[in-house]
């Protein structure tokens, strides 16, 4: 885990979203190959954009309730929250340039 992306639970995510902060959340699971491939990409992007948003990860196996409430059906799924609401999400593994552009366009 990088110093720019921290793993949190569903309750912590709810609190972050409710705070109105800009949050980038990677919904993932340890058994998911594409999720493991996305992790270092997310770390790199977070290191470059950490001043503009809070970067977190939520394991859907340990936090099923929050994943279901947000409509996370497949993983990896990167959500951007702003002002307490979902602004956008990007499903699946993508290369760094694509992920960075998605995040920059939504934070």
- Catalytic annotation, residues: 32, 35
Say whether 2 sits in a helix, a strand or coil: coil
- At 104, phi and psi to the nearest 5? -60, -35
CA distance 54 to 77: 16
Q: Under 8 Å CB-to-CB from 20, ≥6 apart: which residues?
A: 83, 84
Tell me the three state secondary structure of residue 72. coil
Cis peptide before 76 (omega within 30 of 0): yes
């Amino acid at each position: 885990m990088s110093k720019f992306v921290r793993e949190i639970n569903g309750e912590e995510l709810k609190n972050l979203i409710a705070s109105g902060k800009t949050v980038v959340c990677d919904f993932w699971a340890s058994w998911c190959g594409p999720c493991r491939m996305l992790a270092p990409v997310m770390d790199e992007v977070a290191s470059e954009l950490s001043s503009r948003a809070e970067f977190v990860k939520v394991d859907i196996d340990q936090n099923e309730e929050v994943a279901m409430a947000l409509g996370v059906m497949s993983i990896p799924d990167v959500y951007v929250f702003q002002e307490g609401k979902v602004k956008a999400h990007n499903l699946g593994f993508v290369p760094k340039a694509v992920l960075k552009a998605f995040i920059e366009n939504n934070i």
